[in-house]
Amino acid sequence: MARKKILAVLAGAAVLLTGASVADAAPPAHWVGTWASVPTQTPPTATPTLTDETIRQVVHTSVAGSDLRLRLTNEFGTTALRLGAVHVARRAGSTGTAIVGGTDRTVTFGGDASPTIPAGAPLVSDPVRLPVPARADLVVSIHVPGPAPVTSLHNFAYQENVVAAGDVTGAPAVTGRTVTAWYFLSGVSVRTTDRHASAVVALGDSITNGFETEVNANHRWPDLLAHRVRGKGMLNLGVAGNRLLHDPNPPPSSEAEQYAAFFGQSALRRFDRDVLAQPGVGHVIVQLGVNDLGHPGTSAPPGEVVTAEEIIGAHRQLIVRAHAAGVRVVGGTILPFRNDTLGFHSPANEAKRQAVNRWIRTSGEYDGVADFDAALRDPADPQRLRAKYDSGDHLHPNDAGMAAMAAAIPAHLLR
């Protein structure tokens, strides 16, 4: 008994000497995604090539951290991609690609400052000591000795980036040609000690990707949602033209052969990479289905027509796979698109849309519902977008519509 009392006294003294108990100890650091994009293939007739050039790219963060990691991608490359140098810095100002002095950092990969990315693979960097604020801009500069085809990119960035001659990865400012795409870059994560910080993935199509929103403005609905749910990494994994059930499959000799590769792999195929592999993911919001309805007979073969039951079955697969990984999942209803300029609408497709939306709202299979349809439809004609939210093609919301979508997501579902 005396020995137990002595040990208890010593333990208490140790707590007094350290000035903290175990409960008061600083929480362990963990990694959370702060920005992401979907890599896709490029059409054979529209593949850019870099030769001794630097692609300088702007990305908008969502959650803060003390350190960062980059995720580069050569996932659609058929040969290894050799890089000359990779740098990251804070952006100076709110426009352009100039960097803040003293923030430029060389990025290494396994200690290598000039890495090679194997064909078909991503490459995650070593940690970089650079404090990253929430809702700020980073500049990532990648020098490609080349010549190298840009086979893995996100084509619809709605962000102006610059391709400059030579290795100017560490230059304060660069000049060159402007591109609105992200080349070889698919993710940024940060290290944080905020035990409540986690990532929310927005898994969607062109509406999530931000089609028709103002360039350089970060008015996509996931960006706007980040202002409502502080302490969350908001990762936009939307891609124009994306479908739940089918990969791009343009009809032979059709105009779609020039752009369909940018639509990305089906959501069922890319789910593990774009959702489950994200650092710190805790929630996913699904906004998909309209292209499954509209593409067959336009940019995909008529034989790929799907039923409402097949679309619901795909949603169920996303739910079960998310839950198996401990990720909560919110279902977004499909927006109305009557009189759209893309040729998607028909009475049959409207009936399918209504059936899918009814299931999303009432089945209880999703952990929560974001009723985008109810928020943006025209009260006088519920099959159409409300005029003030319509970009003009009667399918994609404008910037005001994006704000309405962000507001339609119950914030408590993401806690």
All residues at 6 or more sequence positions from 204 whose CB lies less than 8 Å from its CB, including other chains: 237, 238, 239, 242, 285, 286, 287, 288, 332
**Cα 370 to Cα 280: distance, rounded to the nearest angstrom:** 22
**Cα 184 to Cα 348: distance, rounded to the nearest angstrom:** 40
Q: What would the two tokens of residue 160 be?
A: 């102006």
All residues at 6 or more sequence positions from 320 whose CB lies less than 8 Å from its CB, including other chains: none
What distance lies between CA 139 and its chain's CA centroid? 17
pLDDT in tens, 236-269: 999 999 999 999 999 999 999 999 999 999 999 9
**Cα 104 to Cα 154: distance, rounded to the nearest angstrom:** 24
**Cα 76 to Cα 39: distance, rounded to the nearest angstrom:** 8
Computed from CA positions of residues 277, 278, 281, 286, in that sequence, does the dihedral angle turn out positive or negative? negative
Say if CB 401 and CB 218 are below 8 A apart: no
pLDDT in tens, 114-138: 999 999 999 999 999 999 999 999 9
> Taking the model in full, what pTM does it have?
0.93
**Closest C-alpha among 62, 80, 50 to residue 142:** 50
pLDDT in tens, 51-96: 999 999 999 999 999 999 999 999 999 999 999 999 999 999 999 9
